Amino acid sequence: MDEEETMTKAPTDMATDKSIEPVIKSLHCKETHILGDTIAKIKNLIIGNNKYKSIYLRDELINRLTELVNDLYINYLLVLTSGDQNQPSEILLDEKFFDLINQILIIFGSFSLGNVDHLHKLIQKYKIHLILFNIIDLNAIYLRQTEDKVPNCKIVETSIRTLSNLYSSAQIKAELIYQMDCVLYRTDSRDDLPANLKSLIDLYQLNHSIKHYILNIITISAFNLMISSSIKSHSEEQNEANGRHRSYLIKSNFIFLFAGLLISIQSKIQLNCLKFYAYMSFECLESVKTILNTSYYDCGLLDLISSFLSRENNIELQLYSAKCLTNICRSSLISKLDDMDLDSAEFKLVNFNSKLIKFKVLPTLIRLCSAYSSCLKNSNTSKFDHMSIGSSNTTVQNKKFLNIFFLIEILSTLSYLVELSSYLQQTASCLEQIIHLIVSDVLVGYNNLSSGLKNAKLNNKNKSVYNLNKTSCTSLFSLFYLYYNQFSSQSIYYLLNEHQYKVYMGKKYNFIEEFLVYKRLISVGFQTLACLASNSEESRRVVSDSPDLLSRLIESIEINEESFDSDDDFSSLTDYKDGLIGDGAKVDEFKSDATLLRISSLCLLHSLSRSVHQLRTKFLDSKLWNCIIDLIHRLKAKNSECELIKSDDQMEIQTEREDDFSLNEKNLISILIAILANLLIEFSPCKETLLGDDVIKILIEFVNYKNKSIRINSIWALMNLAYHADQKIKQQILAEMTFDRLFQLLTENDEILVLKTLGLIRNLICNRPHIDHLMCFYGTRIIQAVIMVLEADFSDKMIKEQALCILANIADGTNTSKEFIMGNEDLLRKINSFMTDNFTEIQVAAVYCVSNLVNINDEGALERQNKLKEIGAHRILQKLLHSNDPILFEKVKSALQQFSTNVPSNNMSSLF
């Protein structure tokens, strides 16, 4: 818990040096009572006063205090654990001695509740956490050896409380937590549980307070591991370490131990437990399996967690219970790639179709969303005060922000839950009121921003802040990672954690922080609307019918980036830097946030672009595609174009400056191209206009990028563009890309890239005149590429289906094109074998290919029919007549009708 900062006036610098010298001198005294009085004086001065903390946090004093702890207490513990009972010091080992050590640890604990500078010095310079872990470890060793009480339980409790303060400080940064985690999870063998983690487990049962502090330490460590594991830009070594540390937490049995605290009468302890389970279950199947198989006194852990969804509980408990179950549900999807039985009772409890998710979690989130949206709209900051843990400590202004924080977390959890389930999206969208409420939340956020910025202009200092943040709109997507056309809100907790402690404890809330809170509300609102509208035409209609929202959407996309001089601009932000950005922060960190807001805006635009009605109305009327193309050009201007280098008859790609794009910018390009793919479909009225903006050249350049998501979406967009396109567009695509490049893409290891490349080739080889033209120039290469795909092993069956569809298109050409297939008996036998495949879609494609080859209206049909009969195609078709699949049955029936009809031979073709 944070200390209250007193208003005591700090001494001047000259007085400071004179006043601290006697204190340091007294610390070297051998007399216990003088030493005790000095330590008590330091403790009383620094508690609750950051100014005195800054004065006393200096090398001479801290080094002496750590020396006392090491020489007196730690050496004493070393002697105890080694079996030597000799006294380690001249000072008598009585209660006064233990009280002295305890007072020093309290001083460390008070320093840990200071500002950022205090925390950096404690952890990075003085390594206080190492001393604390050492005390904890030695006491645990003594407890194991004697199976009795520790020498002094109060010292153990203070040490663990101080460590808990370090972890949970409102000013703590991720890198500092990571340093402490490295000590917590340090082990000589990867198979063994880390010694410090074992020690916390051994000391867990000493008393109730220690349980609470250990829960706090482990919860924040689990949170930091969850965030670190979600960041894709970490080194392989750090990612491996994060995964290893997470597995240690699972093996440590804390999942079971904390289950007992869920039945605590203290809401704060229950909330920390739910947070721990939420963090541990985030995209971690191993944790989910453990949670599902854990019971506490014959009550399943999942039942305990879900019991907090009840309206009788605190709002935060309801929210984190829903968040935990949401993460369990999403993580269970990983089971498709693991050994978890999809038919098991555990999986059925937490999948999207389970009663728990459909009838408890989703309704709870919708109810909370509705309640807090109404609260925000009506500016009723006291409506839910009694339901917020610790809300009695907050100011009226911060109660308002606390409600906004809850709304942001509710919306982010809702969007994460429904993101991959069309059923849940449609269920939530049925309540049209929810869509209207979220739209109003976004507009409220914008209105508050507008009023805040107007007030900022009245102050010269704040005016520079306004100019800077006009181009740096922070959203909740700091770890936003796009994968093809899907997106994920992987780290809602991280940015919330940055300021939420301030809100709870009534700390000062400055202009920049207020600005960021509303930006987060807007971003998560866009994200939630994007999820709800992705598969619901009615949701798209409600969103698009709000003209104010659409104008704000375009405004978010069209944010102009300006260049700033870091020294000049940050010199005016001195009052706001503490608690907002770490030391050494750059303007680039602010600028990247403009990209983050664009991503959330574009996600909503992408959902709207999936509607034919929206493409023909709102997109056409507002010319939304103009800002899409303009943004792509601006992004490309930051990076050099990819150079194609020919080497050994293959195309290689040079992307020397591709890494100049940040992760968020790559995600931004990916979603932009995904929108373009929808704008380029056959019936889109935007298609012709976009073709005039060199969109083909742009897409083909992006195909050459290393980023997987960008490449796939670019091929996808070209595939849509080529569908039923005229010869001119197809020639333009091939002129820019060439078939050689397409063939090279088919050799890639990425199956989705191969699938979409085959789709592009299929759309290019479509329409009889186009088929014959392309087969005339590239026929042999195309057949070789198709055979290569058919003979390869792919986990995705759709790849071979696409390859057979290409053959079906070739078979739909004239006799010249058909001969490329008929002249290859091995290929014909492969088509025969695919007609008996276990995958129905592959069977349909193979039968369709045979049907086109024997079409009675084409020249040479009789000869082709006879040849196919010889290799057994007709016999296979007759067997397939017994198929239960209606589509396959119709295709087989059509093909057999071609065989049974009298057809002209080649000699009769001249009569026609």
Query: What is the share, in percent, of the chain residues with pLDDT greater than 70?
Result: 74
Q: Is the model's pLDDT at 290 over the cut of 80?
A: yes
pLDDT of residue 331: 82
299-300/295-296 β-pairing: antiparallel
Residue of 594, 599, 556, 788 whose CA lies nearest to 709: 599
Please state, as a whole number, how many other Cβ atoms lie within 10 Å of the Cβ of residue 626: 15
pLDDT of residue 305: 96
pLDDT of residue 505: 40
Q: Which structure tokens are listed for 827?
A: 């290929």
The answer to whether residues 142 and 151 touch, using CB atoms and an 8 Å cutoff, is yes
Q: Is the model's pLDDT at 199 over the cut of 80?
A: yes
For residue 442, the Cα-to-chain-centroid distance in whole angstroms is: 22
Q: Which helix (H) or strand (E) holds 418?
A: helix 396-418
Q: Is the model's pLDDT at 154 over the cut of 70?
A: yes
What 3-state class would DSSP assign to 682?
coil
Distance (Å, whole) CA 21 – CA 52: 14
Query: What is the share, in percent, of the chain residues with pLDDT greater than 90?
Result: 36
Which residues does 210 contact at the CB level (< 8 Å), separation at least 6?
156, 157, 160, 203, 204
Q: Is the model's pLDDT at 235 over the cut of 80?
A: no
Distance (Å, whole) CA 837 – CA 832: 9
Q: Rg of the chain over CA atoms, in angstroms?
A: 33
Distance (Å, whole) CA 573 – CA 152: 47
The answer to whether residues 533 and 543 touch, using CB atoms and an 8 Å cutoff, is yes
Q: How confident is the model at residue 140 (pLDDT cuts 50, 70, 90)?
A: very high
pLDDT of residue 141: 92
Q: What is the 3-state secondary structure (H, E, C) of 202-220?
A: HHCCCCHHHHHHHHHHHHH
Among 182-196, 197-211, 501-515, 856-870, the least confident range:
501-515
Question: What distances in angstroms separate CA 619 from CA 627, 699, 701, one per listed residue?
Answer: 11, 21, 25
Placement of tokens 């965030």 in the chain: 227
Name the range with the highest mean pLDDT among 257-266, 391-400, 462-471, 582-591.
257-266
Average pLDDT over residues 856-864: 88
Q: Which helix (H) or strand (E) holds 513?
A: helix 511-533
Q: Which structure tokens are listed for 621?
A: 């009327």
Q: Is the model's pLDDT at 391 over the cut of 70?
A: no
Q: Which structure tokens are listed for 39?
A: 């330590």
Average pLDDT over residues 688-715: 87
Q: Is the model's pLDDT at 35 over the cut of 80?
A: yes
Placement of tokens 């198979």 in the chain: 191
Q: Is the model's pLDDT at 380 over the cut of 60?
A: no
The answer to whether residues 138 and 78 touch, using CB atoms and an 8 Å cutoff, is yes
The strand pairing partners of 300, in sequence order, are 295
Predicted confidence (pLDDT) per residue in 158-182, tens digit: 999 999 999 988 778 778 888 999 9
- Higher pLDDT, residue 658 or 97: 97
Residue of 718, 759, 729, 757 whose CA lies nearest to 741: 757
Sign of CA dihedral 145, 148, 152, 156: positive
Q: How confident is the model at residue 335 (pLDDT cuts 50, 70, 90)?
A: very low
Q: How confident is the model at residue 560 (pLDDT cuts 50, 70, 90)?
A: low
Q: Which structure tokens are listed for 834?
A: 């695919």
Q: How confident is the model at residue 584 (pLDDT cuts 50, 70, 90)?
A: very low
Q: Got the DSSP string for 60-74?
A: HHHHHHHHHIIIIII
Q: Is the model's pLDDT at 301 over the cut of 60?
A: yes
Options 3.40.640.10, 1.25.10.10, 2.40.37.10, 1.20.140.10; CATH for 18-81+91-230 is 1.25.10.10
Distance (Å, whole) CA 149 – CA 452: 58
The strand pairing partners of 647, in sequence order, are 650
The answer to whether residues 411 and 420 touch, using CB atoms and an 8 Å cutoff, is no
What architecture (CATH level 2) is domain 738-902?
Alpha Horseshoe (1.25)
Q: How confident is the model at residue 346 (pLDDT cuts 50, 70, 90)?
A: low
Average pLDDT over residues 565-570: 30
pLDDT of residue 470: 25
Among 230-239, 272-281, 323-332, 445-454, the least confident range:
445-454
Terminal alpha carbon distance of the chain:
93
Residue 606 φ/ψ region, left for φ over 0, alpha for ψ in the -120 to 50 degree band, beta for the rest: alpha
Residue of 472, 489, 470, 452 whose CA lies nearest to 585: 472
| Location of each CATH 1.25.10.10 domain in the chain | 18-81+91-230, 738-902
pLDDT of residue 686: 82
Q: Is the model's pLDDT at 252 over the cut of 70?
A: yes
Distance (Å, whole) CA 544 – CA 557: 16
The answer to whether residues 62 and 126 touch, using CB atoms and an 8 Å cutoff, is yes
DSSP-derived letter for residue 8 is: P
Q: Is the model's pLDDT at 504 over the cut of 70?
A: no
The answer to whether residues 498 and 383 touch, using CB atoms and an 8 Å cutoff, is no
Average pLDDT over residues 386-393: 49
Among 42-51, 383-392, 552-561, 785-794, the least confident range:
383-392
Longest dimension (CA), the chain: 123
Q: How confident is the model at residue 31 (pLDDT cuts 50, 70, 90)?
A: confident
Predicted confidence (pLDDT) per residue in 206-223, tens digit: 888 999 999 999 999 998
Task: Please give the angle made by the CA atoms of 275, 279 and 284, to the nearest 5 degrees.
Answer: 145
- Higher pLDDT, residue 7 or 321: 321
Placement of tokens 């699949």 in the chain: 885
Predicted confidence (pLDDT) per residue in 820-841, tens digit: 999 999 999 999 999 999 999 9
pLDDT of residue 516: 66
Among 217-231, 353-367, 655-669, 836-850, the least confident range:
655-669
- 574, burial (CB in 10 Å: exposed 0-12, middle 13-18, buried 19+): exposed
Q: Is the model's pLDDT at 398 over the cut of 60?
A: no
* Average pLDDT of every residue of the chain: 77
Distance (Å, whole) CA 669 – CA 713: 9
Q: How confident is the model at residue 484 (pLDDT cuts 50, 70, 90)?
A: very low
Q: How confident is the model at residue 79 (pLDDT cuts 50, 70, 90)?
A: confident
- HSE-CB at 398 with a 13 A cutoff on CA atoms is 19
295-296/650-654 β-pairing: unpaired
Task: Please give the angle made by the CA atoms of 332, 338 and 344, to the nearest 5 degrees.
Answer: 60
What 3-state class would DSSP assign to 651?
strand
Q: How confident is the model at residue 788 (pLDDT cuts 50, 70, 90)?
A: very high
Amino acid sitting at position 143: L
Predicted confidence (pLDDT) per residue in 418-452, tens digit: 888 888 888 888 877 788 888 887 777 666 655 55
Q: Is the model's pLDDT at 371 over the cut of 90?
A: no
DSSP-derived letter for residue 641 is: P
pLDDT of residue 402: 67
- Higher pLDDT, residue 625 or 884: 884
Q: How many residues does the chain have?
A: 912
pLDDT of residue 614: 86
Q: Got the DSSP string for 848-881?
A: HHHHHHT-TTSTTHHHHHHHHHHTTHHHHHHHHT
Residue of 641, 726, 713 whose CA lies nearest to 687: 726
Predicted confidence (pLDDT) per residue in 450-474, tens digit: 555 445 443 433 332 222 222 222 2
pLDDT of residue 786: 94
Distance (Å, whole) CA 329 – CA 291: 12
Which residues does 206 contact at the CB level (< 8 Å), separation at least 6?
150, 153, 156, 157
